[in-house]
Structure 1
Amino acid sequence: MEARGKMNAFQRDVSKETLFTSISAGDDAPKGACTLQKKSPKLCGTNYPLSIAFIVVNEFCERFSYYGMKAVLTLYFLNFLHWDENLSTSMYHAFSGLCYFTPLIGAIIADSWLGKFKTIIYLSIVYVIGHVIKSVGAIPVVGDQVLHVALSMVGLSLIAFGTGGIKPCVAAFGGDQFEEEHASERSKFFSVFYLSINAGSLISTFVTPVLRGDVKCFGGDCFALAFGVPAVLMVLALVVFISGSGLYKKTPPRGNILLQVCQCVGFAIKNRVKNRSRLIPKREHWLDWASEKYSKQLINEVKMVTRVLFLFIPLPMFWALFDQQGSRWTLQATKMDADFGGLILKPDQMQFLNPLLILIFIPIFDLGLYPLLNLCRLNFTPIKKMATGMILAALAFAAAAIIEVKINERDMPKPVPKESFLQVLNLADNKVQVTVQDRDLFQQPIETFQDPAEYLKLILSGKQQTLRFNLQETPGPASAFNYTVEEKSVYSLIVYKAGGSISSRLITDMQTKPGKGMAAVRFINAWEQNVNITLGGQEDISVNKSYGVSGYTTLERGNYNTRKCRTETGEFSLDLGLLDFGASYTVVIINASGNTLNAWKSEDIKANHIHLAWQLPQYLLISAGEVMFSITGLAFSYSQAPVSMKSVLQAGWLLTVAFGNVIVLIVAQAAPLEQWAEFVLFAGLLFAVCILFSIMGYFYISVDPEDLKEKEEKGEMEMPSNMINLVPKKAKL
């Protein structure tokens, strides 16, 4: 799903002009029978090594495994581990960030020790173990809450190490399978590789939420199955990869250039500090202080890389917004109407839109939009494309903020300290006048069996207070009742007739919308018999006679038309009608007529009224922003570094994703805001960062590393520290 995961495919030898090559482009390979060469078997009639089929299938299964597990992760934290939204969001982004720090470890292991093949094998085993532990931790009967959390954290840590460790290896290993003279086939391989990533992401983000929500196990959502299927796919990925072992071209480790760069930078800083007070001629660039130990070529190449890495500094803010599709946007979807004409989408299924839109947008942009802009002679440079991508992502969050405001319009009021809320359910025969502490909150008598207009505020003198409620039926005498009310609570006052006089009962209400788009219902029995209600698949609900009150039961959204009810005199049916997304209901059983119980239903918390389709604009905006930002950014950074340093830039690119997740983690924990305000904050921050990035890009001068290398070899030029004089000013990006 995520761009940075997809674009990791393009780590080696990708054309600097474009990172996406049409699969339907012509193939120059000779057609004919399959050539099963002894050293490098080919696919039938092509110059493609047979081994790449195993690599592509492996990548499809691995990405299915990763994105499938991640699609349901936020709801797992929220609904299985029962963490709050901020902690769930923080842990989601902590895991995502870790997945993009660990590629540095994987690259060092592969290049300096094991080689790509063994690194993929060993870390895939770690990956599988992590999935298994994560799946076991999602089985409710396995241990207590502490054990579930421990298993989840261990499993996620191993998954992060596994997926991050193999991330810089798999695509590069696929590129190694091609002969040097088959560069065009290699480029097309990366396109196939990219499509396999998106296919795995697209299918898994649609399927695993179905496994979670539609399959029930242990009396609730089947998170164990939703994590277990990705675990099986990861096992399959490992088996497929090992199956092709005899066909692979395996290059031995040749040393890690990233370590060399770090050592060069470290020596330059150390040498500069060491000689600060000595009378040594100043050097044009701070990296020139490494010249006593490292070659001029390495130093110049590090200079080129550091220029691009400096331009990377603002980029994490884009990823901070982008990665919230799996956290904040999924949580937003749980508070929306997901009924598409009978097709009910799960809130975590909306994430499938991103890979789907990416597959649509890439050819539209590469074959339509960009050529059209070129025909119009608009200089739409890479920096401008990336800045536009940032603006689109910021607009996506502005749209999300508007949706959040509309959602909150029908949300429950949130009482603050020294405050609580009250509604009155009049089950008496006539209108009732209600005053609290001699104050008439409701202004006029409350009709019998009528939905309360709204919750009204009670102001308390402390954390709790005993209040006097005066009730007067019209016509009839007044009665007074004392109830202790606690701050930040929500109540219903039931008013009814008992023994010919008015009576009442104060009960505590649900304060927030039911999670996951579920509906909640409770029962009040105003009949003279005890009632036992069966709500398909749920445990029976027993409600005592004489205004007994049940607890809340959460149900899937649906029509509950013929529910069986057992009483002291026989079995009756009960029609509850539609229990809608995110609503809370109170059902009052009044009496029986024939074989049916008569009931009155009050909607205490209003149903979700904003349709899930309203999230489509924000997904369109952020997916278009991804294409313009991520693909362009990686292609641009590759074009600005010599071949030997491309892996260093890949590491830098992955770190921008990691730090973007760290930003979300910090904001979620350190600055808790209303959700709409947090969306506005992120949108504003990205707009500000976009301006900073555009200024930095304006002063950036593009170079061609290969041309520069040729000039240096001929002794025609030295590399200045700022690169300003290398190319004409019109080459600014």
Structure 2
Amino acid sequence: MSTVQTASGPMPRQIAYIIGNEACERFSFYGMRNILVPFLISSVLLGYLPQGADRDAAAKDIFHTFVIGVYFFPLLGGWLADRFFGKYHTILWFSLIYCAGHACLAMFENNATGFYTGLFLIALGSGGIKPLVVSFCGDQFDQTNKSKAKVVFDAFYWIINFGSFFASLLAPLFLRHYGPAVAFGIPGVLMFIATFVFWLGRKEYVNVPPTRRDPHAFFEVVKTALRARHAGEGRPGLAVAMVGVVSAAVMLALWLLSATVALPWWPTDFGFVITACLALGVIIALGGWGASLQLERARGLHPDAAVDGVRAVLRILIVFALVTPFWSLFDQKASTWIIQGREMVIPHGSAWWPSWLIQDAAQMQALNPLLVMLLIPFNNLVLYPALRRIGFEPTALRRMGWGIAISGTAWIVAGGLQLWIDSGDEVSLAWQSVPYLLLTFGEVLVSATALEFAYSQAPQAMKGVIMAFWYLTSTFGSLWVLLTNAGVRNEAVTAYIASTGLSENAFLMFFFAAFAFAAALAFGLYARRYPMQDNYRVA
């Protein structure tokens, strides 16, 4: 690829292959994801449960467990790409695993082992490529044309939603009219096309080589800092980090013990997924805290740039942690909001309602990508310039903080709709468009912004891993949902909810709204002192 050494060099032509791959892959992913809950509720896979709340809850748990996997495996993909195979080969190989998972869903709709194997393979494949496609796209830019990267990151997010829109609109119709084999098979075909399109650009890409055996890599600097001794000083950071490791080991040991021996004080709903995620969270939180306490001890043993890079990553992880409540709200549009929509009335009798197209509550999810495609250009061309004219600069962190708060407002509205449903009135499904609008506006402010933020803040050698940590925020978002679902199965909690006079669904909607508002406040306070970085590649 040739570029002109100016501040506004040409757009890399290979971007077209990456964008085309992403459009097909997103149709593939959202096509299967957005019909997963309604399929499970009515499938023989949950035939051991009665119709109603038990089956709804089980479908939600399976869905959010799947989401946890999708956003956990980026850690594996990012590590393999950064240390061994590079981004291109890792994306290609995980894409083939992804295709195999879709094939399992299409072939094993009535076989639990085959179907759940398919979900695992999709989680592995989708998760493995997830941190890499965005950072691989960023690798195609350098200091000469980085001004065009923001345009591409926005276009990237726009095309994701272009694929998601058609998937969300059509997949429920495929499921309703042609059955699960076709509904899950079509996304599989699109994933094969996505893989082929990505392969076509193989001779055009800029391939940043993996950083093998880097003695100044993130974890090497952290290990040095934790082990280093200073005369007359203890090692408080190492002690904090070891508390995290020991706590995680104890959690996993207790889970294993509870599988064979009844432990009355161990939560019965804390299966392997919840326990493993909590253990991972403790290691990341206390390990990062411990490293920050002793990080300066690594200076002199590692270059200043490496130590400063680790400090930057630790700051980014705090930003990421404060975003996790947003994902606990956002991902429930494909579970809790679908279940709510099934209690509402589709206004087929109204002349303005497109009954020929919208026939299922799950199709309301198509509003989300449609609104994203409208809001991104509106924000960039109208809203942000207007804010700048009145003296308010919509920085990345400001946009993300406001996005979390607005998502909480969406759940206040959803809770109001649930109160309306609980009163016994017939509520039109069209009313769900209001919380969808608010949630999508919050998403654009948080997620579209974070793609640019995460890439620009990460040191060059750690871009794949830091993107993996960004996607891990969705894992913890779904973890909060699983923990909440487990909590409401507790008799004391259900008794308290009953004492409020609210239904369980309404109570949880207001609870998640409050969760988002608290997170937005904490995010805003931290963002005021966050030092922004510029880590684009030098030409």
Instruction: Give the TM-score taking structure 1 as reference length.
Output: 0.57
Residue among 421, 426, 441 paired with 1:624: 441
CA distance in 1, matches of 2:194, 2:530: 43
Matched, 1:193 2:207: no
Aligned to 2:273: none
Cα separation, partners in 2 of 1:357 and 1:304, compared to 1, 3 Å: same
Aligned to 2:339: 331
SS at match of 2:420: helix
Residue among 376, 396, 402 paired with 2:416: 402
Within 5 Å, give how 1:203-282 maps onto structure 2.
203-215=166-178, 222-255=179-212, 260-271=217-228, 276-277=233-234
CA distance in 1, matches of 2:215, 2:403: 29
Aligned to 1:389: 403
Deviates more, 1:677-686 or 1:52-61: 52-61
Q: Deviations over 1:599-658 (max 9, x none)?
A: xxxxxxxxx821001101100111111122223345445555555554444233212121
Please give the root-mean-square deviation of Cα atoms over the aligned residues, in Å. 3.1
Aligned to 1:42: none
SS at match of 2:228: helix
CA distance in 2, matches of 1:227, 1:336: 26
SS at match of 1:254: coil
Aligned to 1:110: 81
Aligned to 2:531: 702
Instruction: Confirm or deny: 8 A CA contact 2:37 2:63 kept in the other structure.
Output: yes
Offset of residue 406 of structure 1: 1.5
CA distance in 2, matches of 1:637, 1:179: 16
Offset of residue 328 of structure 1: 0.3
Cα separation, partners in 2 of 1:79 and 1:258, compared to 1, 3 Å: farther
Instruction: Confirm or deny: 8 A CA contact 1:401 1:676 kept in the other structure.
Output: yes
Aligned to 2:305: 297
Within 5 Å, give how 1:247-646 maps onto structure 2.
247-255=204-212, 260-271=217-228, 276-277=233-234, 286-291=294-299, 293-340=301-348, 341=350, 342-343=355-356, 344-378=358-392, 380-410=394-424, 609-646=426-463
Offset of residue 386 of structure 1: 2.5
Contiguous gaps of at least 5 residues in structure 1: 1-26, 30-45, 141-147, 216-221, 411-607, 708-733
Runs of 4+ in structure 1 deviating by more than 6 angstroms, as ranges, are 256-259
Q: Specify the code of the residue in structure 1 equivalent to 2:384.
A: Y
CA distance in 2, matches of 1:625, 1:308: 20
CA distance in 1, matches of 2:215, 2:79: 8
Residue among 10, 31, 40 paired with 1:68: 31
Offset of residue 191 of structure 1: 4.2
Instruction: Confirm or deny: 8 A CA contact 2:37 2:60 kept in the other structure.
Output: yes
Offset of residue 175 of structure 1: 4.4
CA distance in 2, matches of 1:270, 1:28: 45
Q: How many residues align?
A: 448
Cα separation, partners in 2 of 1:240 and 1:648, compared to 1, 3 Å: closer
Contiguous gaps of at least 5 residues in structure 2: 1-6, 50-54, 236-290, 495-503
Cα separation, partners in 2 of 1:275 and 1:243, compared to 1, 3 Å: farther
CA distance in 2, matches of 1:162, 1:276: 46
CA distance in 2, matches of 1:284, 1:254: 24
Offset of residue 365 of structure 1: 1.6
Cα separation, partners in 2 of 1:258 and 1:71, compared to 1, 3 Å: farther
Residue among 503, 508, 511 paired with 1:681: 511
Percent identity of paired positions between Structure 1 and Structure 2: 34
Instruction: Confirm or deny: 8 A CA contact 1:319 1:661 kept in the other structure.
Output: yes
Offset of residue 208 of structure 1: 0.6
CA distance in 1, matches of 2:134, 2:108: 32
SS at match of 1:315: helix
CA distance in 1, matches of 2:458, 2:11: 29
Matched, 1:90 2:61: yes
Aligned to 1:573: none
Instruction: Confirm or deny: 8 A CA contact 1:111 1:256 kept in the other structure.
Output: no
Deviates more, 1:620-629 or 1:185-194: 185-194
CA distance in 2, matches of 1:28, 1:301: 27
Aligned to 2:264: none
Offset of residue 108 of structure 1: 1.5
Aligned to 2:279: none
CA distance in 1, matches of 2:25, 2:346: 29
SS at match of 1:313: helix
Cα separation, partners in 2 of 1:300 and 1:320, compared to 1, 3 Å: same
Q: Deviations over 1:162-187 (max 9, x none)?
A: 01111222333344456875545555
Q: Deviations over 1:232-252 (max 9, x none)?
A: 111122223334444445444
Residue among 476, 479, 484 paired with 1:662: 479
SS at match of 2:217: helix
SS at match of 1:366: helix
CA distance in 2, matches of 1:284, 1:61: 41
Matched, 1:53 2:16: yes
Offset of residue 118 of structure 1: 1.8
SS at match of 2:212: coil
SS at match of 2:426: coil
CA distance in 2, matches of 1:357, 1:75: 23
Q: Specify the code of the residue in structure 2 equivalent to 1:205.
A: S
Within 5 Å, give how 1:152-163 maps onto structure 2.
152-163=115-126
Instruction: Confirm or deny: 8 A CA contact 2:71 2:472 kept in the other structure.
Output: yes
Instruction: Confirm or deny: 8 A CA contact 1:257 1:645 kept in the other structure.
Output: no
Instruction: Confirm or deny: 8 A CA contact 1:52 1:177 kept in the other structure.
Output: yes
Q: Deviations over 1:299-345 (max 9, x none)?
A: 12211221232233222111100110100001111111123434443
Larger radius of gyration: 1
* More strand by percentage: 1
CA distance in 1, matches of 2:452, 2:26: 22
Instruction: Confirm or deny: 8 A CA contact 1:362 1:627 kept in the other structure.
Output: yes
Q: Specify the code of the residue in structure 1 equivalent to 2:73.
A: T
Q: Deviations over 1:656-710 (max 9, x none)?
A: 1211111111111232461111111111122222222233334x14345579xxx
CA distance in 1, matches of 2:473, 2:174: 33
Instruction: Confirm or deny: 8 A CA contact 2:67 2:478 kept in the other structure.
Output: yes
Q: Deviations over 1:182-210 (max 9, x none)?
A: 54555544444333212111111111111
* Higher RCO (CA-CA < 8 Å; seq separation 6+): 2
